[in-house]
Chain A
């Protein structure tokens, strides 16, 4: 069964550094999403992406964050200057169409020291 894959599984970085989290959505899917889960808290929507542009973003997704689909397969989340509070599990998801189920990846655990 097709899966959403995310790399790395765990990323450790120093505060102030830039990180790029990578996702390979299911190949024929057109809609892409990032969610965040701070330890012990609920999963929160960050951003949705379609047709090479952001279609919706939450208040969490400030100027420090950006997303990109640099080629036909990858979907990345960049945090420009990480803060301690960015430490969380980041989930990528994709769906075939807007109204379809979103399939989630296994997540990347980001630890900001």
Chain B
């Protein structure tokens, strides 16, 4: 069964500094998608970045980038030049196809605090 593990329940970073959030997953599939979602206090789940497993190049989106290590089944999120607005719960998710439907398997989340 597919699982997603986020081992850091909470992280803190100083404003303007860089922080890395960890995510590991377990799967026997070779083709899949991985995502990082941000859930600020407003509760909206916002897609931050996604990675297709068949692409070796790490995805980047402005200040957000991933370190995708397929063999190690690791998918960490790096936030550069952290801003106060980055404070949120971050969820790593794996998109899994089961019986014809795509379902997202989420990790337990990492709460990111940004210190002024």
> Which residues of A pack against B, CB within 8 Å?
9, 35, 41-45, 48, 55-56, 89, 91, 95, 98-99, 101-107, 109
B108 CB contacts on chain A under 8 angstroms = 41-42
- A102's contact among B43, B99, B102, B109, by CB below 8 Å, is which? B102
B107 CB contacts on chain A under 8 angstroms = 42
Contact at B98–A56, with CB atoms within 8 Å? yes
A98 CB contacts on chain B under 8 angstroms = 100-102
CB distance from B113 to the nearest CB of A (A): 17
CB distance from B34 to the nearest CB of A (A): 12
Instruction: Count CB-based A-B contacts (< 8 Å).
Output: 54
Contact at A101–B45, with CB atoms within 8 Å? no
Instruction: Verify if B44 is at the interface (C-beta below 8 Å from A).
Output: yes
Contact at A106–B44, with CB atoms within 8 Å? yes
Q: Given the complex of chains A and B, what is the CA–CA distance between A35 and B91 in angstroms?
A: 14
- With A43-B91, A91-B45, A107-B43 as known contacts, state yes or no: A102 contacts B104, CB within 8 Å: yes
Question: How many residues belonging to B are interface residues under a CB distance threshold of 8 Å?
Answer: 23
Instruction: Verify if B62 is at the interface (C-beta below 8 Å from A).
Output: no
A35 CB contacts on chain B under 8 angstroms = 104
CB distance from A108 to the nearest CB of B (A): 9
- A55's contact among B43, B44, B45, B100, by CB below 8 Å, is which? B100
- With A56-B98, A56-B100 as known contacts, state yes or no: A42 contacts B43, CB within 8 Å: no
| Per-residue interface assignment for chain B, residues 42 to 76, with 1 indicating a CB less than 8 Å from any chain A CB and 0 otherwise | 11111100100000000000000000000000000
Q: Given the complex of chains A and B, what is the CA–CA distance between A3 and B43 in angstroms?
A: 13
Can you list 30 pairs linking A and B with CB atoms under 8 Å apart?
A9-B43, A42-B91, A42-B106, A42-B107, A42-B108, A42-B109, A43-B45, A43-B91, A43-B106, A45-B103, A45-B105, A48-B101, A55-B101, A56-B98, A56-B99, A56-B100, A56-B101, A89-B43, A95-B102, A99-B102, A101-B47, A101-B50, A102-B102, A104-B45, A104-B46, A105-B44, A105-B45, A106-B44, A106-B45, A107-B45
